[in-house]
Every structure is written in C-alpha cells, then in structure tokens.
Chains A and B, each alone.
Chain A
Amino acid sequence: MKMKICMMMLCIMMLQGCGNQSSQYQLIASIQFTNQHLMIDNGDSFVWENSLITINDEYTYEMEYIPRGKTSIPYQMFYNEKGEVYQPSILKVRNVDINVPKFDGKNDAVFTW
C-alpha cells in the first residue's frame, strides 16, 4: 500500500515538472547565435515593447522595441550589475531569458531558452 502511494506521489511530482512554471504568457521565440551576436526571432503577432533580455541570469539589455521577425543584438550591449560587459570570447551562453512587461496591459510575457 505504501509502495502504491509512493509511486502515485512520484508520478504527480513528475507530471508537475512537465508543466509551465507559472501562468505567465509564453512568448513565441527562437534564439540563434554568432560569435558576436544574439539573434532573436519574435514569432508573436505583436511587437515586444520594453523587453528585458538576460543572458546567463546576469547580463541584461533592455530594448524599447523588438519587432516581429528577426533581430540581431551584439553581445556588447549586455552588462551585469557591476557594469561589466558580456564577453563572448570568455563566456558561453548557457541561458537566455526574455521578459516583456505588461504585454497585454496587465500580464508579463516570458521566454526562457
């Protein structure tokens, strides 16, 4: 009996891991890289406004507009809190987060790569 309960708990935990982390709107996006640029493809039907892009949870760049389609951003635009610029020759991109605040007037929209 204990075994069955443990198995059910395990299944519930695994299924929870498959879902979205939150109820935030997920942006439709794809990411590409060159050795000097981050390329973001905005696949949504709207322009992302005041987007905050974060590389490796540390280096950020805020863009007023990211239109539909592909946008190229040089890594030299990304800085951390200490004011250090992102250096692609030393660092590898491990993750990219995009946050579009109040995309519909109320809720944020996010994308994580």
Chain B
Amino acid sequence: MSVQNKYKLSFSITFVVIVLLSSFWMTSIPSSGFLNFEENQSIQFEFGYIRPSNESKNLEEIFESIKDVTYFAGADRLSNNDNGTNLSNFYPFFDDLSTELSFNEKYTYLPYDMTGKYGRSVYAIDYANAKMLFLRGDELISQNAASYQIEWLKSMIETSDQLYHIIFINEVPQSPWFWDVMDELQINLVITENELYSPSSLVVQEPSDWASAFVDHWDVWNFSSNSNIQTLLFDAVDVELTVTALDLSGEAFDQMSQNLSLFQYDEFVQTNTMIPIQSLWRYHQGSDQIRSTIPEGYDITGENPITERYQIPSDDWRSQDYDDSNWNVGKGPFGHMNQKIPLSINQKLPKLNDSVTYYFRKTFDLLEDPLQIDHLFLYMTFEDGYVVYLNGEEISRDGMKVGLTTHNTLAQPNETYIYEEKEITNHRDKLVVGKNTLTVEVHRSHPKSSNFIFDLSLIYEKNK
C-alpha cells in the first residue's frame, strides 16, 4: 500500500482543519467590546407623511422611492389619480373633497365606524408604540369640546397604552378648547396638510421654519411656503422622535426632533425652567491653571461621601464668586460628534491635547423659596462623563468614578445620552433665593475619542 493511500484519512482531516483555520485568518475577529445576549428592548417605528403639492408624484412612485418605510399617511385627495395603486399601506385623512360615502368605499381596509357616526373617515390605528388618530377638521371647526369626535378621542387616549399620540387632521380648529384638549390628552403631534404642531416643551431640535403657534406652549412648523417638502419621515426610538423633511428627490434637508420624556404639563404641577436647553454658558478647557480645591472632610477616594455642607474658596472654578470673565461664551449643545445624533451642536469645541475635560459655568436667578420646590430635575445631554455642582457642591455625576477628579481624569466609555432625566430633588437645599451658579465638568473617555457633547436644562416642579 502506498504512503498516499495509507494516510489518506489523515491527509483529509489535516486539509479540512487547515481550511477551517484559514477562515480565522481571513476573518476580522472582534478584538474589543463584549457579547451581549440581552435582546434590544428599544421600541421603534417609522412612517411617512406625504404632503399634497402641485409637483407631487403619484403615490406608487413615492412608495417606491422610500422603500424603508412601510406605512404612509396623507390627505385623501393624494390617491385620486392612483387607480391602480395598492393603497393598503396608505392611511388617509378626510379632506372634504370626497363624500363620506365614497371615502368609505375607496378605503375598505380602514376600520369601519369606530366612532359610531363617521364611517371610515374618523379612525385610529396602533403602530408599534404610537397611536395615530385621523380626525375630521371640517366637522370639528363648527363644534365644541363636547363634540362627538372629541368624546371619542378622549376615550381612545384614556384606554391607550401607547407612548406617542399623533393626530392627523385636514384643518385644525383655532378655538382654545381644541388646544386645551390636546394639552389634557398629552398629544405630542398634530399634523395638518401644511403644518406640524408640537408642544414647545418637547422640542429638542427645531427645523428652519419653526415658530410659536397661535396658542400658548405650542410651536408650529409651517411648510406651506416650502414647495420642496414632499414627504416627512417620522422615525422614533423609545422617547425620541425625529421628523425629517425630504425633498422631491428623497433627499433630507430639514429636521426637527422631540423627546417625550420632557412632557411637562400636568394640571396639578407647575413646572419652571431655571436653565433651558441651548442656553448660553461660559466655558474653558481643562488646565492645571484652573484651580480646584479639596474641601475639608472630603474623601478623595469617594468611598465615604461627604454628608456635611461645605464651602469652597472664591478662586475655585466651581465657586459662585469665581471670576470667569475671561472664559469663552457659547450656546449649547457644545462639542463635536462623529456620529449622527438628533441634535445639532451649536458650539463646536476643538479636541484638546493637553486635557480631556471642558469646564462650564452658568448663573441663574431663583425667585422662589427652594423649600417650596417639590421636584428638581436635570436633563443631561452628555458623552462620556460629567460632574455637576450647584453653588460649589456636587449634585450629580455619571460616567465618572466616585471621588476626586482632575482635568486629566478619563470618563468611563459611554453612549450618547440626550436630555437624560436626573432627579436631584434631595439637593434642593443647595439652591438659594437670588443668584445661583451651576458648574459642570465634562470628561471624555479617551484623549483621542471622536465624540464629545454637553448640554443640560434645570427644571423644578411645584405642586399647585
């Protein structure tokens, strides 16, 4: 028997092993990160709103051009010239150009008579964590808060488990009662043919044509004068909703975003903003020249947090009396991002070679007695880590180890947090009537990291 035949099996096994091992050589084996078996818990949805315009394509062309989106909403008349198009993923609102009867006959896939009065022309659908409600403005304008549609709307919202409540309506009533109902039901978007209304408090990014609406604490994006806007793309992940305006060629050219964790108006609670988002701040890069003291009794290891109140000297950068007149002034959010986020940075900050930290200072006035405050909140936008001080005393930190920090201290690697709520009510006694100072140190997790961002708002609630 030849050697070749004698070791045939051995040669074959060796060959297979070599082939298998060579696949490792050709594969990029992950060298960092970790394996996570947890399922992604975030809830997402995406849908489009098609706007009627003179140059509009037919629906089939629009469905084809935005393939990532399954469901679209728009005015009934958009489908008038689309005899051959499958409309089952199109959700129309009644625009008074068809009769109710013809509307019912055209959209047989819509739920029938949810209200018991308006056939298919008033209805609601649930999609992921959103409830979309399609109303008839022509009926509402001449009515009042006790109207049939409003009663139905209230019942739908009260029994809803959805996070987002979005109303589509051809024409919006200007009467105050309608907007009182929108506030009461915590509707987060009202969309008409040419306008998008949002509660002001939810908006974290404004589009270019953004203005105050005709009712208090609502803003409006009026796109009637912008013929370029063909479609709005709604993209939500958990509490963050981004609305992107697409032009006729499907290119994005404007954007707004909401954060539903900022819902503020509870009828029993009065909410006051001491520092709004996108405020002006004094800022300075970290340096050995910026003095930071260690208060008496402070454990620099952080294992025994200081419980006594303490004072810091006026030449400490966190002090209320610190002279920051030579610091730069800029409007938040600050930083530089290498990845897409639903915020635009107003003040770009250069990457530093000498330090991994930026310091921020903001002075604000409080006219009320701090002890009357029921809840105190920070809404933090940051990457990677921060420490916040109120009148020189620490009130919040995230992404940083406990204890002493210097401007050379690196944060722990973190994702980008956008207006993350931090309840700091137990620090309300650090507020004083009159002038207060909030100071923040923001650290990156690596001297070469490409992402760095900071902004915040400081809000308090008082029971009425």
Q: Which residues of A contact B (CB under 8 A)?
A: 34, 36-37, 39, 45-47, 63, 65, 67-74, 76
Contacts and interface: CB of A to CB of B under 8 A. Distances in A.
A34 B445 CA distance: 13
Nearest to B412: A69
Contact of A39 (B303, B404, B447): B447
Query: Which of A36, A39, A67, A74: most chain B CB closer than 10 A?
Result: A67
A73 B408 contact: yes
B251 interface: no
Question: Which 4 interchain pairs have the tightest Cβ spacing?
Answer: A70-B410, A69-B401, A37-B447, A67-B404
Given A36-B447, A71-B406, A71-B409, A47 B354 contact: no
6 contacts: A36-B447, A47-B301, A47-B404, A67-B404, A68-B401, A73-B408
Contacts of B406: 65, 67, 71
Contacts of A69: 400-401, 409-410, 412
Interface string B87-130: 00000000000000000000000000000000000000000000
Query: Which of B300, B302, B405, B409: most chain A CB closer than 10 A?
Result: B409
A47 B410 contact: no
A19 B94 CA distance: 85
A109 B449 CA distance: 31
Which secondary structure dominates chain B's binding surface?
loop
Given A46-B301, A65-B404, 13 more contacts: A34-B448, A37-B447, A45-B301, A47-B301, A47-B404, A65-B406, A67-B401, A67-B403, A68-B401, A69-B412, A71-B410, A72-B408, A73-B408
B447 A67 contact: no
B232 to A, nearest CB: 43
Nearest to B445: A70
Interface string B310-336: 000000000000000000000000000
B420 to A, nearest CB: 21
A72 B410 contact: yes
A30 B412 CA distance: 15
Nearest to B356: A72
A76 B408 CA distance: 13
B447 A34 contact: yes
B353 interface: yes
Query: Which of A46, A68, A70, A72: most chain B CB closer than 10 A?
Result: A72
Contacts of A67: 300, 401, 403-406, 409
B333 to A, nearest CB: 23
Contacts of B448: 34, 37
A16 to B, nearest CB: 36
Contacts of B404: 47, 65, 67
B385 to A, nearest CB: 10
A52 to B, nearest CB: 16
Contact of B354 (A34, A63, A74): A74
Given A34-B448, A37-B447, A71 B408 contact: yes
B400 to A, nearest CB: 8
Interface in B416-456: 446-448
A72 B447 contact: yes
Given A36-B447, A39-B447, A74-B353, A68 B410 contact: no
A69 to B, nearest CB: 4
B254 to A, nearest CB: 39
B288 to A, nearest CB: 9
A47 B409 contact: no
Interface string B221-236: 0000000000000000
Query: Which of A34, A63, A68: most chain B CB closer than 10 A?
Result: A68
B447 A68 contact: no
B354 A68 contact: no
Contacts of A47: 300-301, 403-404
A37 to B, nearest CB: 4
A22 B282 CA distance: 50
B445 to A, nearest CB: 8
Contact of A68 (B353, B356, B403, B408): B403
Given A67-B404, A72-B447, A36 B409 contact: no
A43 to B, nearest CB: 11
Query: Which of B353, B354, B408, B447: most chain A CB closer than 10 A?
Result: B408
Contacts of B412: 69
A88 B432 CA distance: 50
Nearest to B400: A69
A34 B412 CA distance: 17
Interface in B371-415: 400-401, 403-406, 408-410, 412
